[in-house]
Amino acid sequence: MSTVPPPLTRLHRARLQQLWRSAGWPSHDALELDLLAAGLVTREAGPDQRETLRLTDAGIAWLAEQRRQGRRAESPHDRLAGRVSAMLMASGRIVWRELSLRAVADAPSAPVPGPMAPLFGDEPAEAARATWRIARPDVFSVRHTTVEAYLHPLVHEIKVSRADLLSDLRHAAKRQSYQWLCSEVHYVFPAGIAEPQEIPEAFGVWLLHGDVDTGRLELARPARHVACTLPFPVWMALARATPDVAPDDGVQGALGDPGDPTPT
């Protein structure tokens, strides 16, 4: 019988992170078997003989190395997007990255620049003449609420170079598609690559002061706010996508301490 452990994937890494942050409750599935066979976790029995899982020294070392490799592989753009995502989640928002959403990019009556929410009114002919495109906002978020009117959808576009920012600003249809999807659009970029007044007035401006990983994010100018109701296709896209998870969130974290009495 072979004793070589199976190759480990990002799913194994995610499970190991959950176990590291959680009470260590076993799931008894294939991922757990792989981690046990690789010697990255071990089973422990408490005083009441309830079994839990704990990371071994090898598991901690492997997880730390995977984290270091992941950080090295991320571009400055991705790391800044992660900073913005964490900031939004800390303020109570649900955040998605790398979405592909079908949006209106141009319409006969659309102001440029300006809010796109009330484009069509009661004129279906104008909607039929609109130009559609696939919008890919860097960071899309909504408030964590059950009231649709309180969602306040936001788009944050991440730029790490002046050339990238100016290229984006030259494409009015791209900006309009973002405006159609949300109540506010913000540009986020390092201080010094552009001045806030270079960005059209409808858009908010966030400046990064210092390093991508540790620098301070400053709201240099708020965005123009427009009421926005998310279209049904956008809801379906959000339902199919996976939102970002805060670093301190864990699936098993809500299960409590393994020392707690068994509920009756």
Kindly tell me if the per-residue pLDDT of 140 is higher than 90. yes
Question: Torsion angle, CA of 222/241/79/132, rounded to 10 degrees?
Answer: -60
30 shares its domain with 142 = no
User: d(Cα 7, Cα 39) in Å, to the nearest integer?
Assistant: 13
Note whether residue 148 is domain-resident.
yes
- Give pLDDT tens digits for 208-264: 999 998 999 999 999 999 999 998 989 999 999 989 887 655 444 444 444 444 443
44 shares its domain with 113 = no
The residue behind tokens 């009015």 is: 172
157 shares its domain with 230 = yes
- How many domains does the chain divide into? 2
Note whether residue 249 is domain-resident.
no
224 shares its domain with 186 = yes
The residue behind tokens 């805060």 is: 246
Note whether residue 135 is domain-resident.
yes
Kindly tell me if the per-residue pLDDT of 152 is higher than 80. yes
The residue behind tokens 């020392």 is: 259
Q: Which two tokens stand for residue 211?
A: 């390093």
50 shares its domain with 175 = no
Helix/strand/coil for 61: helix
The pLDDT value recorded for residue 50 is 85
DSSP string, 86-152: HHHHHTTEEEEES--EEEEEE-TT--SSS--TTSSTT-HHHHHH-EEEEE--SEEEEES-S-GGG--
Looking at the DSSP bridge assignments, the partners of residue 218 are 207
The pLDDT value recorded for residue 106 is 67
Note whether residue 236 is domain-resident.
yes
The pLDDT value recorded for residue 7 is 79
Note whether residue 91 is domain-resident.
yes
Alpha helix locations (H) across the chain? Answer: 10-21, 30-37, 57-73, 76-90, 124-129, 162-169, 172-181, 232-240
User: d(Cα 125, Cα 123) in Å, to the nearest integer?
Assistant: 5
The pLDDT value recorded for residue 248 is 53
DSSP string, 217-260: EEEEEPPPP------HHHHHHHHHS-----TT--GGGGG--TTS
Note whether residue 3 is domain-resident.
no
Element housing 188 (H / E): strand 184-190
The pLDDT value recorded for residue 72 is 57
User: d(Cα 156, Cα 173) in Å, to the nearest integer?
Assistant: 16
Kindly tell me if the per-residue pLDDT of 125 is higher than 60. no
CB 73 within 8 A of CB 124: no
- Give pLDDT tens digits for 60-116: 888 888 877 766 557 899 999 999 999 999 999 999 998 999 888 765 444 433 343
69 shares its domain with 80 = no
The CATH number linked to 28 is: 1.10.10
Final residue before a domain boundary, out of 73, 98, 118: 73
Note whether residue 230 is domain-resident.
yes
- Burial string for 124-153 (b: 16+ CB within 10 Å, else e) reads eeeeeebeebebbbbbbbbeeeeeeeebbb
Final residue before a domain boundary, out of 73, 90, 108: 73
23 shares its domain with 88 = no
18 shares its domain with 122 = no
Final residue before a domain boundary, out of 73, 90, 121: 73
CB 186 within 8 A of CB 155: yes
Looking at the DSSP bridge assignments, the partners of residue 212 are none
99 shares its domain with 183 = yes
Note whether residue 87 is domain-resident.
yes
User: d(Cα 161, Cα 164) in Å, to the nearest integer?
Assistant: 5
The pLDDT value recorded for residue 68 is 74
Looking at residues 135-162, what average pLDDT do you find? 95
Q: Which two tokens stand for residue 86?
A: 């964490």
131 shares its domain with 224 = yes
Q: How confident is the model at residue 182 (pLDDT cuts 50, 70, 90)?
A: very high
133 shares its domain with 168 = yes
86 shares its domain with 160 = yes
Average pLDDT in the chain: 82
- What residues make up the domain containing 98? 76-240
Q: Give CA angle at 41 (39, 46), nearest 5°.
A: 130
In the chain, the percentage of residues whose pLDDT exceeds 90 is 48
CB 179 within 8 A of CB 133: no
**Of 24 and 192, which is predicted with more confidence?**
192
